[in-house]
Structure 1
């Protein structure tokens, strides 16, 4: 005979709300089990002679709630199989299908275990909450779990109920999560044992006092009223998307409406370099601002395409998410990567697979394929050389690199000495720079970063020269090279002294 489990909801806590059908099932059951006896209806039933075996001791032996729920599901299934076809009754607080993890596990596992699962509803704590707290869920409503309160799920425009607020520690975690969205003094409501005569308590407090309230337990919840205040959504991506769409609308900003991909193309490049500057300066506050400016450029370009019906910012996010998931099989799949090199190999392999899925054949593409056309020349040379080196087109050692630099430098000298046309001299100069990029690659240095550091050093030292001349009542134009060279050497010496002091 097929094993059976019958799940019965005990309701929100008032015995008078228990349905006649549920009461008959509870009274007639041969084997009755309950997730926890910490519920008013269980106490009332046991006074009438309807007794239970509870799983309360499981909570004391397991390290976390998921382990508790798995253990309860395991025991229920094994118990049902040992009953020889007789149904095991399993009672849970509230409604079995509302915030009841054990029932979710049973629904997932029973079919595979050949156990028939029957579920009988009961009054949910939501029913009492709608009445006692006085809001209509059709206005916009969300139910969240205190143990998994992700900020991204909180929408201030909806009435929010947070269940599973078992104790003061959980209430504190809820408070901290809500403070990521709401001001500290935002009014919230704590409900204890809603609908249970003699036990119900409804407390309205500012958010910062949420964890100072006593009496949290299995029948506690937190209610956060809905608000239309846009300031509460200021940290959300949805609000950013909304603002950019308004700026581009007929009622928006005239300048923003006039822009095209081409007209703000340079802005994207400028904002990228401004972000890089904050990275080099190790300035997190400035970086936060500049990353926002860069994000705005992405949003504007996405909004322009949304207006034509081609794609939206959410399509951009979807494609990025899919790419990240696909190219990290060692994180989200069944491959392994013990170090960064192995992870990079996985990434490249999945990139090649993406091309195959698009009908391209990576093996037939140029080894230099994939380097953006408009990269700065130094960076572009570096990337092209790295790609060529991967297929064996490279010097065997640094000796070959030095020889090539000397060869190209000699040709540049000859071109200048012979007075060749400026265009020819420029080409020879390009060859020298290209060979120097090879040297950077061989010593493991990024030439763009190396040159940027040298530029920064030049600016620092030249500023020192200007400052010292200013102290002497001069400008560089009123000085001479010998004087400026001497000050330049002073600047170098000062930098060396400062470096030495850092390392004691």
Structure 2
């Protein structure tokens, strides 16, 4: 049998808060290890004649905290396994063993597997002092977050928030940047150093932007963000958006929003999509931000309609998307490799086929052309159809073959016009010409929609040039001849 391990908490830093039980456990121990000597209680242990060995040297020998914690656990497990039954190794940690102590969590898991008896004696946590010294009641709503790797998505303004392990100015800077994702720059933040430790305690209130200018950060530092009911702090959260849309659709909400159905706002989704595309074409980030919000609203409304009848909600939509993105990117979230975009696309297609198999669908029975939305704009749809067909070898070999096809289709359109065929026949020939032109775009590695949009923008700019020039001459396009407008058009080609 092996020795046992007892983990004790040394409290938040005030020696008077050590319990008698923990003191006796330390004095009776066969060997006492401490995670770090950098703690106010260590001087008292010397007075109590408790000999200790620290793991500070492990911090210096390892490159990251996870490596440090794993190494400490390895050493303790090794010492316990080599010890005799009846002996007790004590591992002392700052604060409470179950609060922000990664080594304790590792030991709890490993000791159970190794057959080593593990006991834990709680100590005063830094949270106990925080509740007292900062004067808030956690039952009002409270969250404890780790400064390392703090993410803005975890922040909830309606909760009292304590951020622990703010070891240095660099960590404080990371905390500041995360908080600024949600809180205004001048929001009042409290910094606490060595709370409850006589002669060392400091409590400072500073605007958020000065958080990393505060001095004295160390092992006993924390940041406190008071809870707030200010609705403006929630305006940047997804939860608030979900709440607002639900209110709009509720009996007490907006009469217009309540009346809408998937069908009635179908066109809105299309319109908002094109308005986003316009901001992309115009390279207008400020306008893009607004239009992306309008597009997101359409997603929220359609999801809310389904939530009301219990089929799914927007969080199901998000989960489905997250699952899909992870599954279709095995070269990012799995073991596959992709050295370039072509390899990544190949992975994507393979995983799409695997998804179909898991749904009971046989990819071999599906049409090569499946998966193209029927309501896509025609030019975009033509491009996608030909792209899919090309993957199975149904394609021209060279772009010159495509250009020959364009000339052939143009000749057939000329013939249809010259012979004054029916409108339906002329339309069919025009469609063949456009289809061939879309294929040329694929060989040029460009998008036909994008190419035509570029030409549309160019036409608009040049026609505006004509209007401006005529206006400068005291005329309008309605008062000008084709010859005059064409002459100005030639000028526009050199300038726009």
Post-superposition CA distance 1:297-341 (Å, at most 9, x none): 111111111111111111110110010111111111111111111
Distance 1:383 1:206 in 2: 54
Return the alpha-carbon distance in structure 2 between the equivalents of residues 24 and 391 of structure 1.
78
Tell whether 2:248 aligns with 1:247.
Answer: yes
Q: What does residue 410 of structure 1 align with? A: 411
**Which region of structure 1 is more displaced relative to structure 2, 342-351 or 374-383?**
342-351
Structure 1 residues 84-93 or 233-242, which shifts more? 84-93
5 Å matches for 1:283-322?
A: 283-322=284-323
Structure 2 Cα separation of the partners of residues 442 and 176 of structure 1: 46
User: Could you tell me how far 1:115 is from its partner in structure 2?
Assistant: 4.1
Tell me the distance in 1 between the aligned counterparts of 2:457 and 2:185: 44
Count of aligned positions:
495
Contact 1:3-1:114 within 8 A present in 2 as well: no
2:15 pairs with 1:15: yes
SS at match of 1:203: strand
Are 1:456 and 2:457 counterparts? yes
User: Quick one: distance in 2 between partners of 1:408 and 1:212?
Assistant: 71
Paired position in structure 1 for 2:72: 72
Q: For 1:464 and 1:205, how far apart are their aligned partners in 2?
A: 56
How far is the alpha carbon of 1:368 from its aligned partner?
Answer: 0.4
Q: TM-score, normalised by structure 1?
A: 0.94
Give the structure 2 partner of residue 99 of structure 1. Answer: 100
Q: Please list the CA deviations of residues 209-251 of structure 1 after superposition, one character each: whole Å capped at 9, or x if unmatched.
A: 4334333222222221111111111111001111111111122
Q: Secondary structure at the match of 2:59?
A: helix
1:91: how far off?
Answer: 0.6
| Aligned counterparts of 1:112 and 1:308: Cα–Cα separation in 2 | 48
Q: Offset of 1:417 from its aligned partner?
A: 1.5
Measure the CA separation in 2 of the matches of 1:217 and 1:411. Answer: 81
Contact kept, 8 Å, 2:9 with 2:94, in 1: the verdict is yes
* Residue 164 of structure 1 pairs with residue 169 of structure 2: no
| Aligned counterparts of 1:456 and 1:211: Cα–Cα separation in 2 | 48
* Alignment pair present for 1:133 and 2:130: no
Secondary structure at the counterpart of residue 205 of structure 2: strand
Assess, with a 3 A threshold, how the Cα gap between structure 1 residues 71 and 425 changes in structure 2: closer, same or farther: same
Q: What RMSD, in angstroms, separates the aligned Cα atoms of the two structures?
A: 1.8
The CA distance in 2 between the partners of 1:147 and 1:338, in whole Å, is 31
Residue 141 of structure 1: how far off its partner (Å): 0.7
Which string of whole-angstrom CA distances, capped at 9 and with x for unpartnered residues, describes residues 159-209 of structure 1?
A: 111111223332333233222222233233222222333433333333334
Is the Cα–Cα contact under 8 Å of residues 2 and 83 in structure 2 kept in the other structure? no
Task: Give the match for residue 270 of structure 2.
Answer: 269
Separation in 1 of the partners of 2:178 and 2:431?
56
Distance 1:111 1:345, change over 3 A: farther
2:2–2:80 Cα contact (<8 Å) kept:
no
The residue matched to 1:473 in structure 2 has which SS?
A: coil
- CA deviations 1:35-94 (Å, max 9, x no partner) are 111212221011221021111233334333233223322332333333345432211011
Q: Find the residue that maps to 2:466 and give its secondary structure.
A: helix
C-alpha displacement of 1:113: 4.7
Whether contact under 8 Å (2:29, 2:90) holds in the other structure is yes
Contact 1:37 1:43 in 2 (8 A): no
Equivalent runs, 1:133-152 vs 2, <5 Å: 133-152=134-153
Cα distance in 1 for partners of 2:320, 2:211 equals 40
Check the 8 A contact 1:194/1:200 in 2, yes or no.
Answer: yes
Shift of residue 145 of structure 1?
Answer: 0.9
Determine the C-alpha separation between the residues in 2 that align with 1:13 and 1:440: 71
Task: Give distance in 2, aligned partners of 1:212 and 1:357.
Answer: 55
Tell me, what secondary structure is at the counterpart of 1:72? helix
Counterpart CA distance in 2 for 1:114 and 1:363 is: 53
Q: Deviations over 1:470-496 (max 9, x none)?
A: 11112222222222222111111224x
Counterpart for residue 231 of structure 2: 230
DSSP 3-state at the match of 2:41: helix
Query: Is residue 7–residue 119 contact of structure 1 (8 Å, CA) maintained in 2?
Result: yes
Shift of 1:114: 5.0
Whether the 8 Å contact between 2:413 and 2:429 is mirrored in structure 1 is yes
CA distance in 1, matches of 2:183, 2:405: 63
Shift in Å at residue 456 of structure 1?
1.0
3-state SS, counterpart of residue 149 of structure 1? coil
Q: 1:9–1:122: 8 Å Cα contact kept in structure 2?
A: yes
Q: Which runs of 5+ in 2 are unaligned?
A: none
Equivalences for residues 267-416 of structure 1 within 5 A? 267-416=268-417
CA drift at 1:357 = 1.3
Name the SS for the 2:32 alignment partner: strand
Is 458-467 or 168-177 further displaced after alignment? 168-177
Alpha-carbon distance, 1:112 to partner: 4.5
CA distance in 1, matches of 2:235, 2:39: 41
Residue segments in structure 1 that go unaligned for 5+ positions in a row: 496-504
